[in-house]
Each structure stands twice: as C-alpha cells, then as structure tokens.
Amino acid sequence: MTAEPLHVLIAAPGADVADVKKLLREMVAVAADAGAGSMHRGAGGESSRRTWAVFGELADRDGLDDNARAVEHDSLGRQAVRVAVDKIIAVGQTRIVRALHQGAVMEGSWGDEAAFVGTPAEAIDHMRTAPGYAPGPGDVVVIAGPDDLAPALVDYWQTVADLQVRLVDL
C-alpha cells in the first residue's frame, strides 16, 4: 500500500496578498476532499491530517507603503486562522512578515499553532525539531512567498522527510 501524499499548493511567482487569499480558499476545498484539517476531525481528534500555511513576504502590485503592506499581510494571517489552518509559519525578517504572524496570533492561532522564523532554512529546521511541526502524509500545505521558499520546502519533504509530495494543480 502506498502512503498518502503530502498535498502542496504553491502560489505563482509574484503573488500578492489577494492572490494568496484566493489560494487559501482553494486549499480549503483540497483539504475537504482529502479529509484534512481541524474541520474534519472527530470529537476524539482521530484524524491526524492537518492543514498548513507557510507564508513569506508577498509581492506588492499597488505601490503600497510598508504600513499598508503590513496591514494587508496581517489580514492574510487572520484569514488563515478563520479558515481553520492548523499550523501557520511566517517566514522572513521584515516587519511585514511579522505583521502576518501577529495577525494569525491576534485572530486566535497562538501557542504552537503559529511560528515566526527568519529564513526558509530556519523553517525547515523548525519542522525538523519542533514537536508537532512536521507535515505528514495526507496533510495539505499552501506555500507563498519568496522564490526560494517553496523549492526549499518541497526538496526537504521529498529528500529528507521522505514524503511523497503531490503538487496540486488548480
């Protein structure tokens, strides 16, 4: 029997916050089909399939200042919580990425549900070492951010974590 794949949705290069909010909604549909996420757990929590969002700083197509971009990213972190993403990892070193993380925390994703790391390598290290932060078979992940983020994560999952990765075409 073949293990279930890790389902991965990757934002197009140059995606902005509006694009990624749409991708989050699409991830919810993929998760529903896969039976993943907190919305699909029974009272005893018997399903171990989870949903993940790994986001870095996104493109700015509107010429917004940093304050407006921080507010946009904050709203993305909040939306991830509202659609019941189980684990959120904000990746980057700017105040804009920190706002994304803070939005998730302020919306109710706290404790080990939201993490803030500086680089893709730190995100991988966090997944390797933090209890409960390793995506597994049947999980659904959405990735958006700098061009080096998705390739680093997918490579890690395939070569080190030995997961079968299914890139979801939308």
Using alpha carbons, list the distances in angstroms from residue 2 to 7, 46, 138, 163: 14, 21, 12, 11
pLDDT tens-digit series, residues 20-59: 999 999 999 999 988 888 665 555 555 589 999 999 999 9
Is residue 117 one of the residues assigned to a domain?
yes
Is residue 169 one of the residues assigned to a domain?
no
What does the alpha-carbon distance between residue 111 and residue 102 come to, in Å, rounded to a whole number? 12
The number of folded domains in the chain is 1
Is residue 1 one of the residues assigned to a domain?
no
Instruction: Say what the pLDDT of residue 48 is.
Output: 81
Q: What are phi and psi of 114, to 5 degrees?
A: -130, 135
Residue 86 maps to which CATH number?
A: 3.90.190.20
Is residue 170 one of the residues assigned to a domain?
no
Q: Provide the whole-model pTM.
A: 0.93
